[in-house]
């Protein structure tokens, strides 16, 4: 189930993408010679509303984790009121453990991302774009800053209007580096950080499309989502819909390709472009050269640690947006799976992931601030062999009572912790039970 031709990665060196020896950053001149900015040129020949309609018809689902359709999000934007600037915020925070797909685009083909940014700004009549990049991405920040300068020099951005005034709509594009908090990847936490505040998620509504950064209408899109837009405009909606799969449940389909960063116990880790709906086993065996050292598959984090864990019997899980309902995980997330072999201690995996959530909770919501700490303590106790079966029951109770689905937190970090605990304990219950002692029952309460 390989692509007949790459789309997002057509200008990027062959696998392994992360090999420094293969590092070649596509310059502006190289990008233009390979049909770069042709999508923007076509967009500028259309009315902005037409561009929104095309992206909406393509059902381009957000590649940042939630899978919300980009065109639909664009259509929610408040109409122009002449009272101030309107903003696009590009989420390149990418702090989800196991996720390194957006980095690939920034590393090698930054102008593809900038073209998507320019198209989105035209389609939604946005005045300023903030490229929000993860604080630890030092090299990537330099690459993108250089590409932005090249785009300004070529007249893509600036006061003269897009593409040296082909459109009179001026767009400014700025780099904004994150301070390093995981929670800044949540869209409203990102907005707070851009405003120079602590990266705390906001209570919604109002949503960013109505009141976003600096209190003005704002669209927040992921890097990979915007990078897909130019080809959709050039090749058409029917072409985009020919890739991917329909929903197994009669819901929203999973069209197009997806960057999937595979790490863990595979022979050849890396970031691969594959059609949505590809079985995880195919991704591992055909793209990654199989399991490392010929060992057996045991489980996987489906698409970022906050999505939960796939069990041993779910190796053939289809990597599409229906994976949540089909495999009892939170969702596809970033579609960057971490693979575990037969020798992996799943209790240690759970404890390590819980430590991450505990450290990255912003502390704003009591259930997350306190609950994540207690989950980590319980898992540490279980890993040491000091826990009882009552602690295991308490662990599941704690995980199931914190998060957006329970209406107790502002953002989804607690949900990620919740789904991690529930899925890994339920799917590998025997490993946890072997580490706990039977619950002590006083003699006088034993039935006679």
DSSP string covering 140-175: HHHHHHHHHHHHHHTTSSBTT-HHHHTSS--BEEEE
Is residue 7 in some structural domain? Answer: no
Cis peptide upstream of residue 236 (ω within 30 degrees of 0): no
Lowest-confidence pick of 116-125, 159-168, 380-389, 418-427: 159-168
CA–CA distance, 146 with 318 (Å, rounded to integer): 38
pLDDT of 447 > 80? The answer is: no
Residue 15 pLDDT: 47
CATH number, domain at 313? 3.10.20.600
Looking at the fold, whether 274 and 358 belong to one and the same domain comes out as no
- Domain boundary residue, one of 242, 261, 278: 242
| pLDDT digits 0-9 by tens, 11-45 | 987 644 445 556 688 999 999 999 999 999 999 99
With bands split at pLDDT 50, 70 and 90, how would you rate the model's confidence at 341? very high
Residue scoring higher pLDDT (221 or 303): 221
**3-state class (DSSP) for residue 123:** helix
Q: What is the pTM of this model?
A: 0.92
Query: Can you tell me the mean pLDDT for 50-72?
Result: 94
Total tally of structural domains belonging to the chain? 3
Q: What are phi and psi of 390, to 5 degrees?
A: -65, -35
Looking at the fold, whether 270 and 167 belong to one and the same domain comes out as no
| pLDDT digits 0-9 by tens, 235-253 | 999 999 999 999 988 889 9
pLDDT of 131 > 60? The answer is: yes
- Domain boundary residue, one of 341, 361, 378: 341
| pLDDT digits 0-9 by tens, 190-200 | 999 999 999 89
| Contact call for residues 413 and 361 (beta carbons, < 8 A) | yes
Q: Which domain holds residue 384?
A: 346-433
With bands split at pLDDT 50, 70 and 90, how would you rate the model's confidence at 86? very high
Tell me the HSE value of 101 on the side-chain side, using a 13 A CA sphere: 29
Is residue 2 in some structural domain? Answer: no
Cα 236 from chain centre: 25
CA–CA distance, 227 with 235 (Å, rounded to integer): 14
Tokens encoding 137 = 């991405």
Give the mean pLDDT of the chain. Answer: 91
CA–CA distance, 175 with 114 (Å, rounded to integer): 12
H or E element that contains 228: helix 223-235
Is residue 443 in some structural domain? Answer: no
């Amino acid at each position: 189930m390989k692509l007949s031709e790459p789309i997002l990665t057509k200008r990027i060196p062959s696998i392994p993408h992360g090999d420094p020896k293969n590092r070649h950053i596509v310059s502006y001149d190289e990008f233009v010679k390979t049909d770069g900015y042709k999508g923007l040129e076509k967009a500028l020949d259309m009315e902005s509303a037409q561009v929104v309609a095309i992206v909406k018809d393509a059902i381009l689902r957000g590649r940042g984790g939630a899978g919300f359709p980009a065109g639909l999000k664009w259509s929610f934007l408040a109409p122009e009121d002449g009272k101030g600037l309107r903003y696009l915020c590009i989420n390149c925070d990418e702090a989800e453990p196991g996720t390194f797909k957006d980095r690939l685009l920034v590393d090698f083909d930054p102008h593809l991302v900038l073209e998507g940014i320019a198209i989105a700004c035209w389609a939604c009549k946005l005045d300023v774009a903030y490229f929000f990049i993860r604080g630890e991405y030092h090299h990537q920040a330099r690459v993108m800053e250089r590409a932005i300068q090249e785009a300004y020099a070529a007249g893509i951005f600036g006061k003269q209007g897009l593409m040296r005034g082909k459109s009179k709509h001026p767009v400014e594009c700025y780099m904004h580096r994150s301070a390093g908090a995981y929670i800044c990847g949540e869209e409203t936490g990102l907005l707070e950080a851009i405003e120079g505040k602590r990266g705390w998620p906001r209570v919604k509504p109002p949503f960013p499309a109505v009141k976003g950064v600096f209190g003005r209408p704002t669209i927040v899109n992921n890097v990979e989502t915007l990078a897909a837009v130019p080809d959709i405009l050039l090749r058409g909606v029917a072409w985009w819909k020919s890739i991917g799969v329909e929903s197994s449940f009669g819901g929203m389909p999973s069209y197009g390709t997806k960057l999937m960063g595979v790490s863990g116990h595979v022979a050849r880790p890396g970031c691969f472009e594959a059609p949505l709906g590809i079985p995880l086993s195919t991704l591992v065996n055909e793209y990654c050269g199989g399991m490392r050292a010929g060992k057996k598959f045991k489980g996987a984090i489906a698409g970022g640690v906050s999505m939960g864990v796939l069990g041993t019997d779910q190796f053939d899980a289809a990597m599409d947006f229906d994976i949540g309902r089909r495999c009892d995980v939170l969702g596809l997330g970033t579609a960057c799976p971490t693979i575990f072999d037969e020798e992996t201690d799943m209790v240690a995996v759970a404890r390590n992931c819980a430590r991450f959530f505990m450290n990255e909770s912003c502390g704003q919501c009591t259930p997350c601030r306190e609950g994540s700490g207690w989950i980590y303590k319980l898992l540490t106790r279980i890993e040491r062999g000091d826990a009882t079966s009552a602690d295991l029951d308490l662990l599941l109770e704690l995980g199931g009572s914190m998060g957006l689905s329970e209406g107790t937190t502002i953002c989804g970090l607690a949900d990620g912790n919740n789904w991690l605990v529930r899925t890994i304990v339920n799917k590998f219950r025997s490993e946890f039970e072997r580490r706990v002692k039977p619950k002590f029952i006083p003699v006088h309460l034993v039935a006679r």
